[in-house]
């Protein structure tokens, strides 16, 4: 039996009849861009997260870039974030002309360490972008308190954390703005590209509506410069179907994650340890081991797919290293890049498959010096 690391087709199959009907409805409607489906999905998704407005855009990277621009971020600005993330986070900041300023992660949560924020602050700092990596909420209490003290915006990168909860509120409801991706493998995945920004400030909302279409006003006259970044009706209709299943899908992810955690307790692998005040969305179940590459090859030989999120931190990637400013040393960031391994995890993954992966991990770990 082959076990993939992720399986977006299985998620489509699980709701094939409803998704096919939604697609048919759009095809028959004659409205393919920014129509009733997108408006309904924007309203429903923003309400699900706990913000007033949603703005559908072409992908998660654009969602971040437009959220930054709505805050007035430009080439003179600095944006504090982490290098242990999808390079998309950094690409979005660079798209605005601003400088990404990368600080280290907390070694336990692998998310932005709020204790590093003070050293990164300059008169040019405008925004903090915490990334809820793997579906685990960053330390939003400390991050939002720091931002408030220094008059900064918080834009949450929620691309991996649809439905995750920090204290008693969902992630995406804590920042001034939050950016989501609907890339097919994400917890809420389209059958193509898609993204959304959520916020509750009507001024930010109005700016975002203009930014996604050339800076247009109601008369389709560009009052500011914008881009073309829209969510299409087909993806919105598909996402409306899948949003209804998101909590159940996340519950399945958590159940499989709990099974991994119970089965792998005695292996010597470092396992995810979410703090008690969060509900992890388990976009990914990531273990750590110094001999990660050998383990990965061992699992591949047994038909078990894994992935690396992420093997090269953004601040050392050739396309971005010259644009990124690094504060102090990114010790934990660089360590994580060498040790992380994402195991198979998706809502349709069976308990038997998790057992098979756990058995293989036990077999390999027994060969390792302790």
CB 187, CB 207: distance < 8 Å: no
**Euclidean distance between CA atoms 279 and 268, whole angstroms:** 24
Minimum CB distance to ligand PLP smaller for 19 or for 86: 86
340 touches 86 (CB < 8 A): no
88 scored as a contact of ligand PLP (CB under 6 A): yes
**Contacts of ligand PLP in 234-293 (CB under 6 A):** none
Binding residue (CB under 6 A) for ligand PLP from 38, 61, 235, 342: 61
Closest to ligand PLP by CB, 19 vs 131, is 131
Interface characters, 19-58, with ligand PLP (x: CB under 6 A): ----------------------------------------
Q: Is 314 in the site for ligand PLP (CB under 6 A)?
A: no
Across 158-265, where does the E strand assignment appear? 165-166, 169-170, 177-181, 195-199
By rule CB under 6 A, what string of x and - marks binding of each residue 179-208 to ligand PLP?
Answer: --x-x---------x-x-------------
Contact between 172 and ligand PLP by CB under 6 A: the answer reads no
341: which 2 tokens? 């391994």
Token reading at 81: 């974030």
Among 104, 139, 156, 157, binds ligand PLP (CB under 6 A): 157
* Segment interacting with ligand PLP (CB under 6 A) among 83-91, 99-107, 210-218, 358-366: 83-91
Does 86 bind ligand PLP (CB under 6 A)? Our answer is yes
Nearer to ligand PLP, 60 or 163 (CB): 60
Dihedral sign from CA coordinates of 330, 331, 337, 338: positive
* Angular region, 37: left φ>0, alpha ψ -120 to 50, beta rest: alpha
Considering only residues 316 to 345 of the shown chain, the ones binding ligand PLP according to CB under 6 A are none
Least Å from the CB of residue 172 to ligand PLP: 13
- Minimal CB distance residue for ligand PLP: 60
Q: Does 89 bind ligand PLP (CB under 6 A)?
A: yes
C-beta of residue 188 within 8 angstroms of C-beta of residue 180: yes
Cβ–Cβ < 8 Å for 184, 190: yes
Only segment of 4-12, 81-89, 258-266, 320-328 that touches ligand PLP (CB under 6 A): 81-89
Measured from the CB atom, the residue of 78 and 156 that comes closer to ligand PLP is: 156
Q: Cβ 365 to ligand PLP, closest distance in Å?
A: 28
Residue nearer to ligand PLP on the CB measure, 71 or 88:
88
CA gap 149, 221 in Å, rounded: 38
**C-alpha to C-alpha distance for 157 and 177, rounded to whole angstroms:** 9
**Dist CA 366 CA 360 (whole Å):** 10
List, in order, residues 6 or more apart from 351 with CB less than 8 Å away: 256, 259
* Residue 310 structure tokens: 């992420």
Backbone angles phi, psi at 59, to 5 degrees: -170, 175
Distances, alpha carbon 332 to alpha carbons 187, 240, 336, in Å: 26, 38, 6
DSSP state for residue 213 in the 8-state scheme:
B
How near is the Cβ of 207 to ligand PLP at its closest, in Å? Answer: 20
Q: Does 177 bind ligand PLP (CB under 6 A)?
A: no
CB of 145 to ligand PLP, least distance (A): 23
- In which element (H, E) is residue 87 found? helix 87-95
**Applying CB under 6 A, does 131 fall inside the site for ligand PLP?**
yes
List 213's β-bridge partners, or say none: 228
If binding is defined by CB under 6 A, does position 136 make contact with ligand PLP? no
Give the span between the Cα atoms of 175 and 159, in whole angstroms. 14
Of 59-67, 210-218, 265-273, 343-351: span binding ligand PLP (CB under 6 A):
59-67
What's the closest the beta carbon of residue 123 comes to ligand PLP, in angstroms? 27
Footprint of ligand PLP (CB under 6 A):
59-61, 85-86, 88-89, 131, 157, 159-160, 181, 183, 193, 195
């Amino acid at each position: 039996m082959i076990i993939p690391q992720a399986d977006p087709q299985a998620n489509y199959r699980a709701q094939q009849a409803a998704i096919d009907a939604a697609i048919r409805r759009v095809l028959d409607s004659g409205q393919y861009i920014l129509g009733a489906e997108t408006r309904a999905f924007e309203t429903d998704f923003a309400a699900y997260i706990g913000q007033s407005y949603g703005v559908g855009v072409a992908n998660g990277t654009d969602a971040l870039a437009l959220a930054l621009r709505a805050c007035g971020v430009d080439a003179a600005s600095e944006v504090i974030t982490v290098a242990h993330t999808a390079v998309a986070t950094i690409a979005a900041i660079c798209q605005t002309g601003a400088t990404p300023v990368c600080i280290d992660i907390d070694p336990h949560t692998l998310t932005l360490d709020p204790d590093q924020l003070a050293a990164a602050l300059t008169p040019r700092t405008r925004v903090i972008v915490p990334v809820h990596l793997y579906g685990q909420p960053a330390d939003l209490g400390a991050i939002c308190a720091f931002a408030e003290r220094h008059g900064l915006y918080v834009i949450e990168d929620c691309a991996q954390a649809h439905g995750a909860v920090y204290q008693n509120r969902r992630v995406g409801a804590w920042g001034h703005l939050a950016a989501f991706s609907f890339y097919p493998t994400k917890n809420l995945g389209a059958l193509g590209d898609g993204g959304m920004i959520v916020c509750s400030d009507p001024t930010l909302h109005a700016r975002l509506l203009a930014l996604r279409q050339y800076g247009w006003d109601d008369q389709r006259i560009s009052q500011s410069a914008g881009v073309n970044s829209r969510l299409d009706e087909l993806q919105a209709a598909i996402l409306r179907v899948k949003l209804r299943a998101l909590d159940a899908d996340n519950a399945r992810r958590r159940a499989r994650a709990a099974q991994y955690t119970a089965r792998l307790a005695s292996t010597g692998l470092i396992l995810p340890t979410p703090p008690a005040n969060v509900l992890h969305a388990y976009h990914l179940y990531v273990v750590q081991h110094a001999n990660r590459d050998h383990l990965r090859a061992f699992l591949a030989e047994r038909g078990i797919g894994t992935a690396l999120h992420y093997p090269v931190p953004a601040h050392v990637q050739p396309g971005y290293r010259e644009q990124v400013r690094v504060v102090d040393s990114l010790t934990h960031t660089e360590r994580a890049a060498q040790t992380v391994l994402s195991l198979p995890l998706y809502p349709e993954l069976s308990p038997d498959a998790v057992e098979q992966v756990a058995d293989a991990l036990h077999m390999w770990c027994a060969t390792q010096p302790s």
